[in-house]
Amino acid sequence: MIQPPPKSADPLMPSAIAVLAEDLGVKKAKQDTLTLFVLAVLGGAFVALGGLFATVTIAGAADYLPFGLTRLLMGITFSLGLILVVIAGAQLFTSDTLMVMAWASGRLKTRRMLHVWTTVWLGNFVGALGTAALVFFAGHYSFGHAEVGSAALYLAAAKSKFPPVQAFFLGILCNVLVCLAVWVSMAAQTTSGKILAIQFPITAFVAAGFEHCVANMFFVPYGLMIKWGAPDSFWTTLGTDRALVDIPATQFAINLAAVTLGNWVGGTLLVGSIYWLIFRRDQGAAAPKQIE
């Protein structure tokens, strides 16, 4: 029996990526609400697992490594989240902002696109929060003589205290890199190529200290769970008074909204819309029927 020729390992050109990005946006929009939501729960959980990996990586590192190197290690390990989303299959609000390309070409109605974004954001929140709860009840924060918990508290406190305007712009910068990671991964024709394509942009945004709304859905609630629920033995080991840990929940809610809006701007306006303008703006007349 004659075997078909192997699939080319050559990367797609940017114009071909633009077509693929549009097609994927339409494909996602065709999924029913339950499927979208469950895939989004997985996406939130995958990003949370990346956040957990990054937290463990930096536990205790501040006393031995310079800030930049610590952030680099955190970024390398956090990349696990998007790798799982892309390779294992899940929905992520930040990368789904690229659906704007299909909308701009007339292949998606505004109502349907907004429905997908809302459903996925909510599912991401459930997945990230649920993973935080699982990790908390596992007592993972006590590992490394409470160093893991200390790192988690540090991250939660830092991310919950950004002024909203700063959080907004950090969110823009973050999702430019996240969407570029997804864009470049679409060029790769092999699993290893996709993983490598994702690694550098994601490492860059984490190392730079930019803000990702889905990651914050894990980091801050996990820190709050530790602050409110960790036993006295944990605080004794840590050598810190529970009352001295400041993680303002109200400020976190405001920041989450600001980061979400910033992520939306970075993905839709600075990546998806720009590439649509370059490669797809003349394709509207030939666009298939809109997805309701």
For residue 49, the domain's CATH number is: 1.20.1080.10
Flag whether pLDDT at 137 surpasses 90.
yes
What's the start-to-end Cα distance of the chain, in Å? 44
**Model pLDDT for residues 244-262, shown as the tens digit of each residue:** 999 999 999 999 999 999 9
Flag whether pLDDT at 291 surpasses 80.
no
Contacts of 44 (CB under 8 A, 6+ apart): 123, 124, 125, 126, 127, 128, 129, 130, 131, 214, 217, 218
For 111, the domain range is: 14-284
Nearest to residue 94, comparing CAs of 9, 18, 173? Answer: 173
State the total domains in the chain. Answer: 1
d(CA 261, CA 258): 5
In a domain, 7, yes or no: no
Nearest to residue 149, comparing CAs of 226, 243, 239? Answer: 226
**Model pLDDT for residues 96-117, shown as the tens digit of each residue:** 999 999 999 999 999 999 999 9
Q: How confident is the model at residue 9 (pLDDT cuts 50, 70, 90)?
A: low
Angular region, 216: left φ>0, alpha ψ -120 to 50, beta rest: alpha
User: How many other CB atoms are found less than 10 A from the CB of residue 138?
Assistant: 10
Nearest to residue 118, comparing CAs of 96, 100, 98, 89? Answer: 96
User: CA torsion sign, 28 to 183 to 160 to 152?
Assistant: positive
In a domain, 4, yes or no: no
In a domain, 289, yes or no: no
In a domain, 292, yes or no: no
